[in-house]
Amino acid sequence: MSRLIIPILALLLSACGQAGKNVLTKPERPARIVSLDYCADQYVLKLVDRERILALSPDAGREFSYMRNTADGIATVRPNAENVLILKPDLVVRSYGGGPNAAAFFEKAGVPVVEVGWTPDIPSVMKNTQRIANELGEPERGAVVNTEMQHRLARLRKRETGQTALYMTPAGVTTGPGSLIHEMIVAAGLTNMETEHGWRSIPLETLAYEKPDVVAAAFFGSRTNHPDAWSPMKHPVAKAQLTQSEVVSLEGAWTSCSGWFLMDAVEALAGKGGQ
């Protein structure tokens, strides 16, 4: 066993041993925060000051990270136990980073964990934002974010165009009621052309004789999520929608994590543009 691994194992065992002697509690205002994935990065970067951020995930500065510009200059760490614990954080924030057992492991090692979670609709996004802000010791900042969301939604609330919209991805997938994308389409004052619940292939048969007024296009501006194999989007009927309908390109950073930044997508669909 290498000289590097021995002290790391000793640290892990020591941390786990100490955890058994104390009741695990989250600090009221954590000062050494580590974020394990880019969904968690967004909340940490938005809600706490830089000096309280010990490290972000390696994806914090990627194009699909909404707060990527704010992440500039902040240290990153790979989301594995050895690398994180050696930093001695007093709080870990995660969505999926570290794998399914990460939360249990870090808590056993004496490090509290804030789970970001996923939200199915816009009210849940706001509720989730406030919860996370509270756990980060910044309830006022969470309230400010939610107030801004409410104001932006209020400006769109009376906008009912009677137009239809269809969400489309390069993989040929769309979604109907029961998804956050559907809620965003409705919030923009549009009617979702897809009426079936859940995620499914775009309705080629319907598109042969009926086209949406607006196509909410995800990821078409880059090679991200572009399939190499055949997909429904390669069908001529599907391709025609990108020229026959008004196309609104949705940035991956707006929709890849369920956060307040989805309002940029809502406003783009409503013709308002992101703010």
Residue 7 pLDDT greater than 50, yes or no: no
- For 186, list phi and psi in degrees, rounded to 5: -65, -40
Of the candidates 211, 214, 271, the residue with the CA atom closest to the CA atom of residue 246: 214
| Mean pLDDT for the stretch of residues 39-56 | 98
- With a cut of 80, say whether residue 33 has pLDDT above it: yes
pLDDT over 80 (residue 26): no
Residues 5-117: name the CATH superfamily.
Nitrogenase molybdenum iron protein domain (3.40.50.1980)
Q: Report domain extents, the chain.
A: 5-117, 159-269
pLDDT, tens digit, 9 for 90 and up, residues 129-144: 999 999 999 999 999 9
Task: Say what the pLDDT of residue 114 is.
Answer: 97
Q: Which is more confident, 225 or 216? A: 216
- Yes or no: say if 39 and 257 are a contact pair by the CB < 8 Å rule: yes
> The pTM is what?
0.84
CA distance 174 to 200: 6
Would you say residue 42 has pLDDT above 90? yes
The answer to whether 232 and 201 have CB atoms below 8 angstroms apart is yes
Q: In this predicted model, what pLDDT tens digit does every residue of 90-112 receive, in sequence order?
A: 999 999 999 999 999 999 999 99
The reported pLDDT for the residue numbered 98 is 92
Fold identical between 5-117 and 159-269?
A: yes
Note the pLDDT tens digit of each residue in 149-187. 999 999 888 666 789 999 999 889 999 999 999 999 999
pLDDT at 236: 84
Q: Which CATH architecture has domain 159-269?
A: 3-Layer(aba) Sandwich (3.40)
Looking at residue 241, what is its pLDDT?
84
Q: What is the mean pLDDT of residues 188-204?
A: 93
Is residue 2 over pLDDT 60? no
Is residue 17 pLDDT above 70, yes or no? no
**pLDDT recorded at residue 184:** 96
Per-residue pLDDT, averaged over 1-29, amounts to 52
- Residue 5: predicted pLDDT: 45
Whether the predicted pLDDT of 230 surpasses 90: no
CA 60 to chain centre: 12
Q: How far is the C-alpha of 84 from the C-alpha of 29, rounded, in Å?
A: 19
Separation between Cα atoms, residue 54 and residue 32, nearest integer Å: 5
